[in-house]
Chain A
Amino acid sequence: MSAPAPAITRRYGLGAGRIALAVYAVLALVFLLVPIAYTILFSFNDVRRTNIVWRGFTLDNWLDVCAEQQVCTAFGTSLLVGAVSTVIATALGTALAIALGRYRFRARGPITLLLFLPMATPEVVLGAGLAAQFLTAGVEKGLGTIIVAHVLFCVSFVVVTVRARVASLDPALEEAGRDLYASPSQVFARITFPLLLPGIAAAALLSFALSFDDFIITSFNRGAVVTFPVYVYTAAARGIPAQANVIATAVFVLAIVLVLAAQLSAAARRKRLARR
């Protein structure tokens, strides 16, 4: 400690601490992946009755996903619910985000609070509230009520995501458009919207992921409809078929490839820019 350490190691603490922290980070990441690896591994299990004990490698579950008919139907329902909810939530949320990010008006504070509240409400309360509403209004629960519920919890996340993008827009670009005699609608269609598109796409992906994986709110408002998480929940008591693992794995791989591609290309771009 007495001798002056070389500048680089002195900068951010002791060498041993740095190594310990790096080792911790690697172990922590491995830990995070354990149940994911387990789920993927058991999609290849040669199952007889229950998918609990490892009985050997097989591709059968992958080649015949719909052997378990209910899994496939539930997956289809989840895709449909996810797609419809995402379209509605993205449209509503983007409009709100543009209004909040671009314009000044008196009710901004209360509206921001109103958008924050659904995110600060536990799912079980959101679900029970909507269910109580449908009950008092005499609405039959089904696909429609699930979509209503999913749009509700997705909107706030869309607003947060798109609003960040709106805030980072350079107003000079829109001004340039107006200087060149573009009408307000032309400015929006040719400048604002294309610039917001990456944010909107990210928000849509987030919405879809939230909707696809939701169980709690869905279970309160589903009636007799079975989405993929609902199927897994009800099957959990008697044993999950390996086909459910296949679907979860496929969705996981697809999502990770998308996110990885986006992240790595952005990181590569930053690296190129940094080098100049």
Chain B
Amino acid sequence: MSVVAALPVRRGGRVVLALLLPGLAYLTLFFLVPFVSLIVTSLMTPLGPGQFAYSFRVQNYVESVGQYLPVILRSFGFALLATVLALAFSYPLAYVLAVRLRRFPLLQALGLVLVVAPFFISFLLRTLAWKQILSDNGPVVGFLQAVAILPPDARLTGTAFSVVFGLAYNFIPFMALPIYASLERLDLRLLEAADDLYARPSRTFLLVTLPLSLPGVVSGTLLTFIPAAGDYINASRDFLGGTSTAMVGNVIETNFLTLENFPVAASLSIVLMAVILVLVGLYLRRVGTRDLV
């Protein structure tokens, strides 16, 4: 055995294959092939609930997009609003934890645990908790009506507001953590340098802090936007939604699981995925970050 052969880089071959094969086979079988199944299903001819025939019916797409265009637009609108809200909420919080508390590791650790805390209580139960808190007889509506911000007959649950609110809340940990991670690596001496060069704090932030935390902002916004666009729990009528807040996820769920109208559900899934890929592609090109994984 030569010296080079002893290095893991060269020994590779069979070992690498053995390491990769199970995982790749799994992903192929249960991720790539299902995508093909989804496309095949989306082109079937529906013959009634649960009944369908193999075909190449592109018209399914025309029909489902035509019928559900407002719902699709609403989904992306809600997801975008929720992402912006979550970003505005999380950035200053992550900044305080990562930069201001850097000299206090114990406080920093505690704050970080509190930021991820919502992740550990059931997603559905915490959404239901908001439903009760925002309900017509709840404290928030009562207060807003008392100070006349909200008209006496207005409500919060079942509106677009509560759905966007719920989406933003539920994905805050996914937004805050990546931002925290990139701000934690921020070299404070750069801020001092900007300060020494007489930059105002706002300029320092815009020209130094923000650009250096951009990778975290990009991952955070993607980790919020993508699941939010496909979510249907917040918009569900039993949770924070109402009759006029349905998102594309709700339509896919109803068509797949209740109506068993698989072609419509499958074509909408493909449309959702395609729009997300296009938007994410454009976004990544615009902000220019490539290292995501």
Q: Say whether A associates with B.
A: yes
Residues of chain A touching chain B, judged by Cβ–Cβ distance below 8 Å, are 10-14, 17-18, 21-22, 24-25, 28-29, 32-36, 38-39, 42, 52, 91-93, 95-96, 98-99, 102-105, 111-112, 114-118, 120-126, 128-133, 135-137, 148-149, 151-152, 155, 159-160, 163, 174, 178, 184, 209, 213, 215-216, 219-220, 228-229, 232-233, 236-237, 240, 244-245, 248-249, 251-252, 255-256, 259-260, 263-264, 266-268, 270-271, 274
Q: Which residues of the partner chain A approach B191 to less than 8 Å between Cβ atoms? A: 11-12
For B89, give the chain A residue with the smallest CB separation: A28
Supply 10 A–B pairs (Cβ within 8 Å), ascending by A. A39-B122, A42-B129, A103-B9, A105-B12, A116-B293, A124-B248, A128-B256, A152-B26, A233-B238, A244-B125
B137-164 vs A, Cβ < 8 Å mask (1 yes, 0 no) = 0000000000000000000000000000
B78 within 8 A of A: no
Minimal beta-carbon separation of A218 from chain B (angstroms): 11
Contact partner, A160, options B109, B172, B227, B293, Cβ 8 Å = B293
B288 within 8 A of A: no
**B12 x A22 contact (CB < 8 A):** no
Contact partner, B233, options A102, A136, A155, A216, Cβ 8 Å = A216
B111-150 vs A, Cβ < 8 Å mask (1 yes, 0 no) = 1111111111111111111101100000000000000000
Minimal beta-carbon separation of B244 from chain A (angstroms): 19
B108 within 8 A of A: yes
Contact partner, B93, options A24, A152, A236, Cβ 8 Å = A24
A215 in contact with B128 given A92-B26, A99-B16, A155-B27 (CB within 8 Å): no
**B24 x A132 contact (CB < 8 A):** no
Minimal beta-carbon separation of B144 from chain A (angstroms): 16
For A24, give the chain B residue with the smallest CB separation: B92
Task: Report the stretch among B32-40, B57-65, B66-74 that lies at the interface.
Answer: B32-40
Contact partner, A36, options B32, B112, B117, B265, Cβ 8 Å = B117
Minimal beta-carbon separation of A164 from chain B (angstroms): 10
**B19 x A98 contact (CB < 8 A):** yes
A92 in contact with B266 given A22-B100, A38-B129, A268-B105 (CB within 8 Å): no
For A30, give the chain B residue with the smallest CB separation: B114
B97 within 8 A of A: yes
A36 in contact with B124 given A12-B100, A120-B222, A267-B106 (CB within 8 Å): no
For B271, give the chain A residue with the smallest CB separation: A125
**B8 x A103 contact (CB < 8 A):** yes
**A122 x B230 contact (CB < 8 A):** yes
Minimal beta-carbon separation of B20 from chain A (angstroms): 5
**B96 x A209 contact (CB < 8 A):** no
**A38 x B113 contact (CB < 8 A):** no
**B118 x A35 contact (CB < 8 A):** yes
CA distance A209 to B256 in the complex (A): 27
For B248, give the chain A residue with the smallest CB separation: A124
Minimal beta-carbon separation of A62 from chain B (angstroms): 16
Q: Which residues of the partner chain A approach B80 to less than 8 Å between Cβ atoms? A: none
**B111 x A25 contact (CB < 8 A):** yes
